[in-house]
Structure 1
Amino acid sequence: MCLAIPAYVEQLTANNHALVNISGIHKEISLALVEDIVPGDYIILHAGFALQKLDPAEAELTLAMFAEISSINRSP
């Protein structure tokens, strides 16, 4: 099973990479598969690669659903 998650692009780095924020976790990822990404964009991330740019409203909704699922799993 594959899981691609929304990530917020914080800054562009060397060699077509970017620093992204995934719910507070910072990671450098590859932008080799996408074009026209700028800081402030949301992308879909899988296995260290951005797969596509994501609409900010859709990204926020998806992240909110992940947070809700996480809180349910932590309930006693």
Structure 2
Amino acid sequence: MCLGIPGEIVELKAGHDDLAVVDVVGVRRAVNIGLLEADQVGVGDWVLVHVGFAMSKIDEAEAAATLTLLTGLGQAYTDELQALAESDIS
């Protein structure tokens, strides 16, 4: 199962306009933000991450609600976090 998981942008990668470091419940990974408008996201913003891409910008309340829901999925959520932890697109 592939899930869209909320993550907070903690860094915009210098020299890479399409990459940002996103924190997803303690897992930090580079994700591609090229599908979003360049001026749409910045450090501190929340995005919905799916297969290494930020698909949309979401607000913090929506991110918290989604993370609560995903936690309730049990193993599917755990598997998705494990896949994220093992990925690296930088």
Shared fold (TM-score greater than 0.5)?
yes
Question: Could you tell me how far 1:68 is from its partner in structure 2?
Answer: 4.0
Higher relative CO (CA 8 A, sep ≥ 6), structure 1 or 2? 2
The corresponding residue for 1:26 is 28
Alignment of 1:1-76 (within 5 A): 1-14=1-14, 15=16, 16-35=18-37, 36-70=40-74
TM, length-normalised to structure 1: 0.81
Question: Could you tell me how far 1:69 is from its partner in structure 2?
Answer: 4.1
C-alpha RMSD of matched pairs (Å): 1.7
Aligned with 2:57: secondary structure?
Answer: strand
Gaps of 5+ in 2: 75-90
Q: Which has the larger radius of gyration?
A: 1
Gaps of 5+ in 1: 71-76
- Structure number with the higher strand fraction is 1
Identity of aligned residues (%): 36
- Structure 2 residue identity aligned to 1:51: M
- Structure 1 residue identity aligned to 2:25: S
Question: Could you tell me how far 1:2 is from its partner in structure 2?
Answer: 3.5
Aligned length, in residue pairs: 71
